[in-house]
Amino acid sequence: MLTSDSLVAPARLPREIYLANASHGLPSAPVFKALQDYLVEEAEWGGAHAVERHEEQFAAGYAAAARLIGADTDEVAFLESGNRALQALILSLRLRPGDHVLVDRTCWGGTLDMLADLPGVVVDVMSTDAHGRADVAATRATVHPATRCILLTWCPATSGIVNPAEEVGVLAREIGAFYLIDACQLLGQRPVDVKRLGCHGLAASGRKWLRGPRGTSLLYASREFLSARPAFMADQLGRLRKDARSHEQGEASYAGRLALGVAIQGALTLGLDAIAAQLSEVSGQLREGLRALSCVNVVESGEDLSAIVAFSIEGLSPEYVLAELARQGIRIGTLSATYAPLDMAARGLDVVLRAAPQVYTSERDIAALLQAIARLAAMA
C-alpha cells in the first residue's frame, strides 16, 4: 500500500475525473512547488546564477534518475521530450545506407518517421506472438546480418501489452547490435534495471508515468555506448562533456529539469514495486469492469499487462465517446493509428479509446467511468 499522501495525491484538485494518465500524469505537490519556486528564483537572480544556487538539487535529480534505472550518474541526462531523447540516441548511431534497424510492431509513429528520414536505412519489423508482443524466438531466425540496432518499445501507447525487453536484449547481444529502448510508457510504472536489460540507450517522457513537468524526458546512454557513439551534433557545452549530458542542450527549461528530478525522487520514495502493485490493482479493476460490459471490447490480451487500458464500444465512435465522457466530467484519451501505425494496422484499428489510472485513482473514479460507459452503450 502507498502511504505518503503528499507524494500520491495531485498537487491541485483535478477538475475532472482524470484517467488520461498515459498522456500526462498529474504532478504531486513537491513537484509543482519545485517548478514554481524555481521560476521565482530565476526571476529574482537571473537564470545562470539560479542554476549555481541550486547545484545540489540538480545533482540530486540526476543521481535519483540514475538510481531509478540502475545506471551510474554519468549515464543519465534530462532532455526535452521522449521523441527528442529517442532522436538523440538514434542520430548518435550514425547509421549509413544499407544498415538495418529492427523494431517491434508497436514502434512509435514518430520514431518510424525519423528512421524513414535516414537515407538508405532499412527498417525491419520483429515477428509477434498472439498478443502482439515481440516474439524473440521467431524473430531470431529472420534477423538481417546488417542489423546495427534493435529498437524496442517496451510498453506501447496503444494497448496494455508489455514487450519482453530482457529477452530482446539477449538477441541484441547475440547479433552484436546496439539495443535501444523506448520506455516512454513504462518508466514510472515499473522498476527498471538497465544493466539487466543490457540496453545501450533508453528514453522516457517526464510528464507521463513519472508525473514530471511537460517538456522533460530522461535519456540513458551506457558508458560503452557513449564512447563508441558520442552525441551527434552536441552543442558547445555538450562538446566539453563525455558523459550522457553531452546529449543535453545548454539552453532548456531548468525549472523543468529540477522538477523532473523531484518527481523521480518522489517515485523512488514511494517505491517502484509499490507503485507497480497499486497500478496493477486499479488497472485490473478497470479492465475487469470493462470486460464485464457486454458492449465493450477490451482490445488487448495477455497475462502481464500495464496500466494502459485500450478499448472500444460497439456502435459508438471513439471521438463521440470521448466527447460524451468529457461532458460528464470524465477525462480519458483516444489514440489514432498515426501514433503506432504498424500495430494499429495489424489490429485493424483506426482509433482506440484509452483509459489509464494512476496511483491517485480511486475505486469511485473507476466506478464512475464504468457507469458512464454502461449508460452510453445502453443508448447506442
Ligand X SMILES: *Cc1c(COP(=O)(O)O)cnc(C)c1O
- Dist CA 346 CA 178 (whole Å): 27
Which residue number has the CB closest to ligand X? 82
Q: Which is nearer to ligand X, 42 or 358 (CB)?
A: 358
Write out the residues near ligand X by the rule CB under 6 A.
81-83, 108, 153, 156-157, 182, 184-185, 205, 217
- Dist CA 341 CA 276 (whole Å): 28
Q: Which is nearer to ligand X, 209 or 316 (CB)?
A: 209
Q: How far is the CB of 81 from ligand X (least distance, A)?
A: 3
Q: How far is the CB of 255 from ligand X (least distance, A)?
A: 17
Strand arrangement, sheet containing 309-313: 296-298, 309-313, 351-355, 333-336
What is the gyration radius of the CA atoms in the chain, in angstroms? 21
Q: How far is the CB of 335 from ligand X (least distance, A)?
A: 9
Element (H, E) at 277: helix 272-291
Q: Which is nearer to ligand X, 23 or 328 (CB)?
A: 23
Q: Which is nearer to ligand X, 50 or 93 (CB)?
A: 93
- Dist CA 8 CA 278 (whole Å): 11
3-state DSSP assignment of residue 234: coil
Q: How far is the CB of 157 from ligand X (least distance, A)?
A: 4
CA dihedral sign, ordered 164, 166, 171, 175: positive
Q: Which is nearer to ligand X, 61 or 333 (CB)?
A: 333
3-state DSSP assignment of residue 336: strand
- Output the nine-digit C-alpha cell for 104: 517491434
- Output the nine-digit C-alpha cell for 223: 558508458
Q: How far is the CB of 104 from ligand X (least distance, A)?
A: 11
Element (H, E) at 346: helix 341-346
Q: How many CB atoms lie within 10 A of CB 232?
A: 15
Do residues 72 and 223 touch, judged by C-beta distance below 8 A? yes
Q: How far is the CB of 306 from ligand X (least distance, A)?
A: 11
Q: Which is nearer to ligand X, 139 or 163 (CB)?
A: 163
Q: Comparing C-alpha atoms, which of 63, 62, 91, 67 is closest to residue 78?
A: 62
Which residues share a beta bridge with 10?
28
Q: Which is nearer to ligand X, 50 or 65 (CB)?
A: 65
Q: How far is the CB of 370 from ligand X (least distance, A)?
A: 25
Do residues 293 and 90 touch, judged by C-beta distance below 8 A? no
Q: Which residues are CB-neighbours of 253 under 8 A, at least 6 positions away?
A: 80, 213, 215, 216
Q: How far is the CB of 116 from ligand X (least distance, A)?
A: 16
Q: Which is nearer to ligand X, 185 or 358 (CB)?
A: 185
